[in-house]
Structure 1
Amino acid sequence: MVATAVPSTRPNWLRYAALAAKVLLFGLLLSALIWPDLSGIKGKASTARLIVYPIGAMVLPLWWVAYGRTRSKLHRTFPWHADLLMTLPWLIDLVGNRFNLFDTVTWWDDAMHFVLWAFLTAGVLLAFAPRDLSRALTVFTALGFGATAAVVWELGEYVAFVRTSPELQTAYTDTLGDLALGTLGALLAGLITYQARKPRSLA
């Protein structure tokens, strides 16, 4: 079965929320360039974050301009709900670092690996995965993306700053936990996305 596009019925607040999230994200990135000592990411691969985070937040809009607007079989209008979910992980991570939550709240890092990976995976599924996937295929797709993204993230952290920081002593245990939590977050995203799409696909 070929997935067919359906008119968007997303409320306007999703558009405003997605745009606000991007404005806040780029504002925090700009402030990190101007006042690096106050950014919360100094010594935590700040240069890599300043490059990767804007790319992560702009992947969907750039794809839409280059391809999706005229050829997407999933969306007739820009998927603001997916865009918001794909922007929030980068924004929340920057906010957490700005307020030093990763180093002062013991459970914050674990929670973020679970929640932010769920947001990111759900956004990717809503933006790019066909609506008519079965529950099993939706979950497998979510796990494939989520687990792979988690591995890439951990490799990036290791190369960028972990290997030369005091965190190296506990990096193995922390990395295993982060990978497990990210994968569980992706699993939850797959299940929720399938349930959220089910009425629409059956309509």
Structure 2
Amino acid sequence: MTTMVAATARTTDAPWVRYAALAAKVVLLGLLLSALIWPDLSGIKGKASTARLVVYPIGAMVLPLWWWAYGRARSKLHPSFPWRADLLITLPWLIDLIGNRLDLFDTVVWWDDAMHLILWGLLTAGVLLAFAPPTLTRGLTAFVALGFGTTAAVVWELGEYVAFIRSSPELETAYTDTLGDLGLGTLGALAAGLTIYRTRAHLAAEGLPRT
């Protein structure tokens, strides 16, 4: 995560970032369509598949929709569409879906924990790049990261509980698992905030744009 954030923060609308963001959306759409056609092979059957088929495309398209409705005309932070932020926001939905398709959440012991740490970090980094001014101090950047990341993690866990955990065998271990997921998501968000601040400070020291 740190390497991606640092690398993409150096260049405005770098072509590879734009292509990667578009490719991630195309692959995500393909996986979602295949889940509709072959639900038994999707890896999300019995895991709130209907909710995921709705929430995932919304999550991946929220930044482009915001830009089309508001950002392109009024955003003072980005003179053009923030492709690197879009990529970072899209990747968590894509990686989660791939992990379910490959059954990694149920077959690899550490996979779920790693995803809560890494994916929440990527999502928070994307949101910070898209919406947080680059002039924020380290403390404020961390505060905003924790505010978004922790809140989003709580909403996710509530959604999981309502959608499928309360009626599944996972209910017996849900409390411990939820606490762990919230802790890892919060840690990932904090790491993202500190990484974004350090990257922007480094760019500023070199006289480069900090978007």
For the superposition of Structure 1 and Structure 2, which TM-score range results when normalised by the shorter chain? Answer: over 0.9
SS at match of 1:133: coil
Q: Does the alignment pair 1:26 with 2:36?
A: no
The offset of 1:197, in angstroms, is 1.3
The offset of 1:10, in angstroms, is 3.4
SS at match of 1:76: coil
Q: Does the alignment pair 1:12 with 2:15?
A: yes
Structure 1: distance between partners of 2:30 and 2:80: 27
RMSD of the TM alignment (CA)? 0.9
Q: Does the alignment pair 1:186 with 2:189?
A: yes
Indicate the residue corresponding to 1:75 in structure 2.
78
Structure 2: distance between partners of 1:105 and 1:188: 24
Question: Runs of 5+ in structure 2 lacking a partner?
Answer: 1-10
Residue type matched to 2:71 in 1? G
Q: Report if aligned partners of 1:132, 1:201 keep a CA contact under 8 Å in 2.
A: no
Indicate the residue corresponding to 1:94 in structure 2.
97
Structure 2: distance between partners of 1:175 and 1:199: 36
Residue type matched to 1:134 in 2? T
Structure 2: distance between partners of 1:198 and 1:10: 20
Question: Runs of 5+ in structure 1 lacking a partner?
Answer: 1-7
| Count of aligned residue pairs for this structure pair | 196
Indicate the residue corresponding to 1:160 in structure 2.
163
Change (3 A) 1:147 1:197: same
Indicate the residue corresponding to 2:69 in structure 1.
66
Structure 2: distance between partners of 1:181 and 1:196: 22
Structure of higher RCO (CA pairs closer than 8 Å, 6+ residues apart) = 2
Residue type matched to 1:29 in 2? L
TM-score using structure 2 length: 0.91
Structure 2: distance between partners of 1:143 and 1:73: 23
Q: Report if aligned partners of 1:121, 1:189 keep a CA contact under 8 Å in 2.
A: yes
TM-score using structure 1 length: 0.95
Structure 1: distance between partners of 2:50 and 2:13: 36
SS at match of 1:42: coil
